[in-house]
């Protein structure tokens, strides 16, 4: 589903007004939809929630809040409005405030009667934040931080209208004193802040409220961010025919491992095996044959020449090139080491493969030394860097990359004709031929361990051979990897879970995605 930032949302509203739905009507629809969703939730509570306080700002988010207050009062709730920063300043919100006054809904001015406002908040069963919305930038002043602190400390169920106050709509950042909601009612569409950590941690459960904006209005937004839920990912999966055989589900070649990195090879190949791929061949330096053979009993094995360092030697490339056409995707880089021999191997595979190549770990570090290979590669390349590896690719400090992960991934993918899977909290997927970028919402800190990237690389390779479009294969693998990690964390713990637990859990979680 699409994510809209504040500027895109304004553009959508502008075109909606041209289609005949006025700003005032949109505000009325938004407030009514929010009130309806709030009622649906609180009416399901065991304890009666009758006292509602709506805290309104001066802008249009406050206008939505005035409508919420009116609709809740019309449905029999005891409602009080708190004006957080004075009289409304837009035509539409001023009109909605007058309707609140006409209904004799009690109003408290926070700056004039702070004690009464705070006591009202403390006594409320339901607290609705309608102070800033998606237009918030900068930092909260001390008065607003004090107000948010009182709202956060109160006992009532907390709702935010569109975006919690103090949260930046367009990014994962927030003022440390922001409102922390139990529920956020997103108006019309999800915003980046609803998905990206740590901002999303303040949103609670997300509900999307339809306010009657026609689909045509969204067509004017060109550069889009997307995220997927479980149902949407399931819809990406090709149906497995009853009459299928192993040849129908593709053949993955994993070129991984070294004397000191046996586990990376095992994890990548095991993940590809668990992905549903029909066949997996694992190529590895010949000296690690015994531990590999012991762990990978379902994989075809290909021991290859190695050098004195226990990594692939350049001779390995000569044995691989004549048989590359046997495979439908190649995973390379997990634990192979970085030296002249492995560099020759990686470059040779990229120059000669006619099928997608998923380049992870040391393959990325090798590519970072000569990015020109990406433009001359014979097939699509999927890079799966963590932030430090991305820093090597772009020559930019990690802090700058982390400050705007989406822009960084998009720019690199476009400039170098490669897919980028920028790993981390909210992994970003950027395709080389699209202005779209995907932000992942699954996963947890338990995946922050060596080996998790190997599992993801193998999963991408496994999905890439099974009939997915490549972009869908990458996005689905990222989501399923995080989703499986969430399942493992729920069963065990984030601290104690291991990458191999994720591999083993795939046999259960993939059932949730099969058609």
- Residue 209's domain is classified under what CATH number? 3.40.50.10260
Instruction: Count Cβ atoms below 10 Å from residue 43 Cβ, excluding itself.
Output: 10
* 329 vs 137, more confident: 329
Number of domains in the chain: 2
- Reply yes or no on whether the pLDDT at 222 is more than 90: no
**pTM of the prediction?**
0.92
DSSP 26: H
Q: Check whether the bond before 252 is cis (ω within 30° of 0).
A: no
Strand residues in 75-161 grouped as ranges (E): 78-83, 107-109, 126-130, 157-161
Place of tokens 């065991």: 46
Quick one: 105 and 236 in the same domain? no
pLDDT at 224: 83
Number of residues in the chain: 515
Using DSSP, state whether 148 is helix, strand or coil: helix
- Reply yes or no on whether the pLDDT at 488 is more than 80: yes
As a whole number of angstroms, the distance between CA 71 and CA 32 comes to: 6
- The domain containing residue 289 runs over which residues? 230-512
Q: Strand 329-332 to strand 51-56: parallel, antiparallel, or no bridges (unpaired)?
A: unpaired
Q: Which residues contact 395 (CB under 8 A, 6 or more apart)?
A: none
Q: Are 453 and 432 in contact (CB under 8 A)?
A: no
Q: Which residues contact 297 (CB under 8 A, 6 or more apart)?
A: none
Cα end-to-end span (Å), the chain: 20
What is the sign, positive or negative, of the torsion defined by CA atoms of 197, 200, 202, 205? negative
b/e burial code for range 340-359 (CB count within 10 A of at least 16 → b)? ebbbbbbbbbbebbebbbbb
- The token pair that represents 92 in the structure block: 């539409």
As a whole number of angstroms, the distance between CA 504 and CA 485 comes to: 11
Q: Which residues contact 152 (CB under 8 A, 6 or more apart)?
A: 158, 179, 180
Q: Which residues contact 247 (CB under 8 A, 6 or more apart)?
A: 278
Q: Are 270 and 503 in contact (CB under 8 A)?
A: yes
Distance of CA 84 to the CA centre of its chain: 33
Domain boundary among 164, 191, 222: 222
Q: Which residues contact 141 (CB under 8 A, 6 or more apart)?
A: none
pLDDT-derived band of residue 286, with 50, 70 and 90 as boundaries?
Answer: very high
Quick one: 270 and 336 in the same domain? yes
pLDDT at 46: 64
Quick one: 286 and 202 in the same domain? no
Place of tokens 């190649």: 330
Mean pLDDT of 358-373: 97
Quick one: 196 and 287 in the same domain? no
Mean pLDDT of 329-344: 98
pLDDT at 395: 96
Task: List the alpha helices (DSSP H) in 354-417.
Answer: 362-367, 372-376, 387-394, 398-403, 405-416
Using a pLDDT cut of 70, give the percent of the chain over it.
Answer: 100
Mean pLDDT of 17-46: 93
Mean pLDDT of 332-355: 98
Quick one: 392 and 254 in the same domain? yes
Distance of CA 475 to the CA centre of its chain: 10
Identify the CATH number of the domain in which residue 430 sits: 3.40.1190.20
Element (H, E) at 260: none
Using DSSP, state whether 332 is helix, strand or coil: strand
- Reply yes or no on whether the pLDDT at 268 is more than 70: yes
Quick one: 265 and 408 in the same domain? yes
Domain boundary among 222, 248, 281: 222
Using DSSP, state whether 82 is helix, strand or coil: strand
Place of tokens 């059932």: 511
331, β-bridge pairs: 254, 358
How does pLDDT run across 43-53, given as a tens digit for each residue?
Answer: 977 677 899 99
Domain boundary among 165, 191, 222: 222
Mean pLDDT of 151-157: 97
Quick one: 218 and 247 in the same domain? no
Quick one: 216 and 234 in the same domain? no
Quick one: 337 and 401 in the same domain? yes
Q: In what order do the strands lie in the sheet with 157-161?
A: 107-109, 78-83, 51-56, 126-130, 157-161, 183-187, 205-209
Quick one: 216 and 283 in the same domain? no
- Reply yes or no on whether the pLDDT at 168 is more than 90: yes
Quick one: 282 and 178 in the same domain? no
Quick one: 169 and 193 in the same domain? yes
As a whole number of angstroms, the distance between CA 323 and CA 57 comes to: 66
How does pLDDT run across 445-472, given as a tens digit for each residue?
Answer: 999 999 999 999 999 999 999 999 999 9
- The token pair that represents 277 in the structure block: 């791929």
- The token pair that represents 417 in the structure block: 């004709």
pLDDT-derived band of residue 58, with 50, 70 and 90 as boundaries?
Answer: very high
Distance of CA 79 to the CA centre of its chain: 37
């Amino acid at each position: 589903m699409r994510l809209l930032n504040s500027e895109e949302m304004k553009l959508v509203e502008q075109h909606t007004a041209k289609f005949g739905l006025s700003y005032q009507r949109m505000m009325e629809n938004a407030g009514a939809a929010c009130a309806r969703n709030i009622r649906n939730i609180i009416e399901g509570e065991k304890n009666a929630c009758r006292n509602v306080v709506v805290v309104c700002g001066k802008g249009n988010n406050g206008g939505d809040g005035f409508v919420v207050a009116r609709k809740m009062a019309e449905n029999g709730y005891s409602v009080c409005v708190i004006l957080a920063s004075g009289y409304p300043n837009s035509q539409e919100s001023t009109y909605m405030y007058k309707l609140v006054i006409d209904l004799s809904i009690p109003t408290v001015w926070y700056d004039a009667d702070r004690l009464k406002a705070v006591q009202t908040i403390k006594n409320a069963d339901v607290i609705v934040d309608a102070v800033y919305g998606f237009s918030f930038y900068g930092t909260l002043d001390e008065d607003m931080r004090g107000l948010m602190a009182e709202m956060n400390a109160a006992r009532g169920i907390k709702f935010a209208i569109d975006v919690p106050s103090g949260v930046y709509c367009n990014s994962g950042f927030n003022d440390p004193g922001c409102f922390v909601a139990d529920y956020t009612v997103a108006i019309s569409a999800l915003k980046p802040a609803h998905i990206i950590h740590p901002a999303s941690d303040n949103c609670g459960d997300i509900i999307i409220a339809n306010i009657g904006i026609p689909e045509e209005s969204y067509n004017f937004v060109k550069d889009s961010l997307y995220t997927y839920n479980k149902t949407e990912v399931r819809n990406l999966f090709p149906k497995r025919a009853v009459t299928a055989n192993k040849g129908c589900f593709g053949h993955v070649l994993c070129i991984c491992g070294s004397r000191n990195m046996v586990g990376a090879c095992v994890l990548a190949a095991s993940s590809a095996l668990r992905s549903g791929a029909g066949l997996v061949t694992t190529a590895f330096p010949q000296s690690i044959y015994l531990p590999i053979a012991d762990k990978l009993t379902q994989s075809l094995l290909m021991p290859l020449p190695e050098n004195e360092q226990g990594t692939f030697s350049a001779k390995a490339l000569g044995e691989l090139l004549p048989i590359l056409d046997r495979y439908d995707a190649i995973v390379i880089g997990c634990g192979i080491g970085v030296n002249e021999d492995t560099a020759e191997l990686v470059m040779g595979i990229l120059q000669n493969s006619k099928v997608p190549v998923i380049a992870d770990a040391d393959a990325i570090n090798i590519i970072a030394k000569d990015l020109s290979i990406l433009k001359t590669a014979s097939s699509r390349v999927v890079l799966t860097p963590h932030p430090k590896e991305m820093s090597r690719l772009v020559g930019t400090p990690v802090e700058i990359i982390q400050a705007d992960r989406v822009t960084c991934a998009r720019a690199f993918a476009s400039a170098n004709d490669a897919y980028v899977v920028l790993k981390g909290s909210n992994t970003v997927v950027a395709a080389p031929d699209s202005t779209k970028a995907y932000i992942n919402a699954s996963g947890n800190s338990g995946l922050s361990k060596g080996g998790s990237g190997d599992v993801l690389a193998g999963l991408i390779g496994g999905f890439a051979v099974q009939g997915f479009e490549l972009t869908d294969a990458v996005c689905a693998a990222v989501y399923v990897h995080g989703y499986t990690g969430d399942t493992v964390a729920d069963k065990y713990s984030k601290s104690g879970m291991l990458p191999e637990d994720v591999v083993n859990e795939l046999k259960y979680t993939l059932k949730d995605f099969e058609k």
